[in-house]
Amino acid sequence: MSRNCYRGPAALGLALILGACAKPALNTTGLAAAADETQAPAFLRDPVSRLYYDGDSDDLHTAGLGIEGLRAAAPAFADPLAPTTRELRRNRIHYNYNAIVNTAAAGGFGTRFGPAPGSEKVAGHEYLTVSRYPDGSVAAVLMVQVPDNLDRNRPCIVTAPSSGSRGVYGAIGTAGAWGLTRNCVVAYTDKGTGTGFYFPATGEGTGTGYDLHGRVNDGANAVFSAAATSGPHRVAVKHSHSGHNVEKDWGRFVLQSVQLAFYLLNHHHGREQTFTRANTLVIASSISNGGASSVRAAEQDEGDWIDAVVVAEPNLALPAGLELPVYDSAGRLPAVRTLLDISTHFALYQGCAALAPGLQAAPLAVALTPPLREAYGNRCLALAARGLLGDSPGAESTDPKALAELAQQALLDYGILADTLALGPFSSAIQLWESLAVTYTNAYGRYRAQAPACRVSFAAIDATGQPSAPAPVLQAALPSLSSGIPPTGGLALIDDSAGGIELVRTLPRGAGTDRGLDTLLCLRRALAAEAVQQGLGEIIASADLQGKPAIIVHGRDDHLINVNHSSRPYLALNRQREGEQSRLHYYEVTHGQHFDALLRIPDFARNYVPLHYYFEQALDLMWEHLAAQRPLPPSQVIRAQPGGAAAPQLPAIAPAPGNNAIKFTGAKIIIP
């Protein structure tokens, strides 16, 4: 598209319209196969919101809060029933930052990692729009931040797809923060998940959802809507119920964000130069699901939009049952399992396993309250009664502690690292595995909200655990205090097959039956359903990074995305795909786990180290590699140690790792 197709700049703070004009040809990723970065991407059909932030009262990075504001409690809305667009954005940034990063000074934020005090407020423009599916529904939210201090001598773009199921600001504190403080453009996407909630009308009229800015909106203008739900007061959730299996498009959405960034750069900031793939460095980055999205984008990058990849703890989907020649101190790694396989298995056994005697001093074991301990003890008995704890000695015991050890063995039999079990009590208390099992089963199987998988729905609840209408204050604030995957923001998992009560309340109490166990077994069986298997088949990574330099950082103690089923086998499969031409570097950090934000809790800080420190270090190393041709350190294990009462020991990624090097010997990969 020529510049003449652009319909003129809008006043700051107002929406601008980017004309569609002639539609470029599409390549197999659904992106515009444009040779000219000034062309409008073919997917761009909606208005683009353009706002300017002065870097003082408001800014791109901290929404005007600064480091101290990020550390403080979230600011209150002037009118809790009608928060302004600015207030919603401010609180979305505050929530997502603190949900991912430990912003406490004692944890090293502002000194060992993160922005230096005084440099955190970044002035510039923020653009917001969507891409759509052929049926007209919103596919993904896209956002581009262009700092005023963009380095025009070495222009750069960093991708920041959201982690987990978060909204478009979900990576603001990780890849977004690094990019902005490096004077780079940051290209964000919610990857089709986001805080897309919809409350269908109970009578006449349309339901309510949320617009791009997180404002309550009617169904006709909401980013996500649903025809119906399974019962009164139920809530439809975009990641679960869009019907599109959005994960299959995560890489495509990242590539869309990059192409949009080039287009906006050239139309609004290209007066002195044209930004092209030849003169602008592009690093695909982020963590967790966002990290996996950037990896997938690099695999699918047919137009050479991406120069390098740096991700942490990525949720990489690999072919189930894959066996690879990777060895650690325990021997050859087990066959690969998908996250959904692991989630449905752990949902069955983790609560009982959390009662094992060896875990009672585990981090945040106190989160398992006495009522939950009693309930999970009865879950142990229910598993044994169903013959689900095997025929090992003790399987017929009535001692919950003995049964808990058998349940713990059932988890170890899934090929996870034993040290990751320490986070079992915490994950049980927050319903981590139930949440993942429900969300991803619905997503892969394309179940809709009116007929969810295994009759598990989402809703706000009253004091008895029954679905209820959300409080207006909750509904107004939900996008600003939600991870995008229930239970979150006052929304709970509801077991419709057990009378429509909160799933956690179906845990057996006293001598009652374990109503929730049947639901979890249903989710386990759903793994084999044709629709779910088809969805899983659509998300498998190729492990071919097309020769791009890449870094994966992962914590060895990651309980959520276990290294044995993600980064380690991906490293091996990449070596098979690319051979000696592979430029993938893998840095595994001892005592690193998935939830850095929890390190502000002393119980976590005594046991784990900040993985974010190494994520930023990896980005710095890649920047020097691209900009100054400095070699990347070899793949290695980094022997970090928690500090207890003192600061943690965080050795740098070593240029010569010695005995900590990951060895590639013939076909074998040996991880020390």
Point out the residues that are catalytic: 288
User: Which H helix or E strand runs over 311?
Assistant: strand 308-312
- Whose CA is closest to 554, among 506, 510, 614? 614
Give the 3-state secondary structure of residue 447. Answer: coil
CB 428 within 8 A of CB 370: no
Within 10 Å of residue 601's Cβ, how many Cβ atoms?
Answer: 15
For residue 216, the cross-strand partners are: 210
- How many CA atoms are closer than 13 Å to the CA of 404, on its beta-carbon side? 22
Tell me the residue type at 637: V
Pairing of strands 208-210, 216-218: antiparallel
| Three-point CA angle 14, 163, 465, nearest 5° | 95
CB 210 within 8 A of CB 479: yes
- Whose CA is closest to 251, among 447, 538, 23? 538
Distant-in-sequence, close-in-space partners of 68: CB < 8 Å, separation ≥ 6: none
Within 10 Å of residue 363's Cβ, how many Cβ atoms?
Answer: 21
Distant-in-sequence, close-in-space partners of 11: CB < 8 Å, separation ≥ 6: none
CB 444 within 8 A of CB 531: yes
Q: How far apart are CA 550 and CA 306, in angstroms?
A: 11
Distant-in-sequence, close-in-space partners of 536: CB < 8 Å, separation ≥ 6: 317, 320, 338, 340, 444
- Helix ranges (H only) for 549-608 are 567-578, 602-605
| Helices 370-385, 339-353: inter-axial angle, 10-degree rounding | 110
Q: How far apart are CA 402 and CA 404, in angstroms?
A: 5
- Whose CA is closest to 345, among 408, 303, 405, 297? 408
| Helices 339-353, 400-412: inter-axial angle, 10-degree rounding | 160
Tell me the residue type at 303: G
Tokens of 647: 């600061």
Q: How far apart are CA 298 and CA 547, in angstroms?
A: 10
CB 33 within 8 A of CB 27: yes
